[in-house]
Amino acid sequence: MTIFLIFSFFAILFINLVKVQEVAVTYTKKYIAGPKKTYVYCDETFLSPNELREKILEDFYFIKPNHLLLTEITTLDFSVGFDLKNHKFRKLVDSPLQITVLKYLIVVFCDNKGFFFVVNGKIIHNFEFAVRYVKRLVKKDRRYQITKPYLPLYPPMKDNILGNKKIFCYRYWKTLWGNCDYLCYSKNHFGVMKQKFLTEIMYYRWKHGSEDLTEDENLSQQALIFLRMLLPKIHRVNIKEYDNVGKGNPYTAPLIINRWYGEHKDYNYNAGGYNPNTRHFTAMVWKSAKQIGIAVVQFRNNIYVKVIYDAAPNRRDIYIKNVLRPVSSIYKGNKL
């Protein structure tokens, strides 16, 4: 019995070692127009750290963001070989879970043939094989300690993570979201993000003369069930075909509701009527709606949102009564 328990303990420990395997993605810097920095990754040039980050999150969707690292390389790394100790490793995203750089790190390179991986000086052309190789190295290394930092780890590169994206009602949005990043809004299983989205929707409704909505738990549960059924097949469907479903990466997700509200610029208040390009906005401010359900789910490296209203918004015959022009630009509510 004792032997079985010991074996089980080490089996679980070994599985956990694999689960938290960190992967470092390489990039190079290139300077244009004097001091202007660009970032080159897989022969693509990115103008900001955020653009680089988004592409890496897209390419490595199968790895949790908190296990992804960045490291800058130069041509010297190809001529004399890559040495972990000669490089600075940064987190790709802010995460309290990511506290060490592992001794047997998988380092990702890219050439004209695609990705290849370096582990402990060995070049491997398949990610799954690289993970297996790490397992073998860990198993043979009796002194290996996953809890002991092998190298220092630096914070993510900072920049304007929203780039040049248009933000409507900027002053209010900035006050509501402030510096609430992924670590902030993902708390309580994205409960913080959900409440901020609800608050934001109420503000936009107020701007258009509509009353606040009450969250209905049954509607929220329906929204959650909908997302859980949709997400496993997300790569085979177009979410734009579904009503009030939005997505964003960990940096742009707080803009989902704001982007929906931004559709108001294309709405014709005189004619009313359905327009597929304004359907999120009209549903959001629909005057006769009284209740709302909302769900937020992370799937791989994206955040998904589904909203359901109790009244059937976007009915073709009653737009003018339910979608009103903005009534004021000064918010007197207390939802901040």
Same domain, 182 and 295: yes
Taking 90 as the threshold, does the pLDDT of residue 22 lie above it? Answer: no
- Show the domain range for 11: 2-154
Residue 93 binned pLDDT confidence (cut-offs 50, 70, 90)? confident
Domain holding 300: CATH number? 3.40.33.10
Distance of CA 329 to the CA centre of its chain: 31
pTM of the shown model: 0.59
Predicted confidence at residue 139, as pLDDT, reads 84
Euclidean distance between CA atoms 212 and 268, whole angstroms: 23
Which letter does DSSP use for residue 104 in this model?
A: S
Residue 89 binned pLDDT confidence (cut-offs 50, 70, 90)? confident
Last residue in a domain, options 154, 189, 215: 154
Predicted confidence at residue 200, as pLDDT, reads 98
Predicted confidence at residue 216, as pLDDT, reads 97
Same domain, 148 and 185: no
Number of domains in the chain: 2
Count CA within 13 A, CB hemisphere, residue 159: 18
- 173-201: string of b/e by CB count within 10 Å (b at 16+)? beebbeeebbeebbeeebebbbebbbbbb
Q: Does residue 213 sit within a domain?
A: yes
- Among 57-66, 121-130, 254-263, 297-306, name the most confident range: 254-263
Lowest mean pLDDT among 49-63, 88-102, 175-189, 308-322: 88-102
The 10s digit of each residue's pLDDT in 204-243 is 999 999 999 999 999 999 999 999 999 999 888 888 899 9
Predicted confidence at residue 35, as pLDDT, reads 54
Burial class from Cβ neighbours inside 10 Å (0-12, 13-18, 19+) for residue 116 reads middle
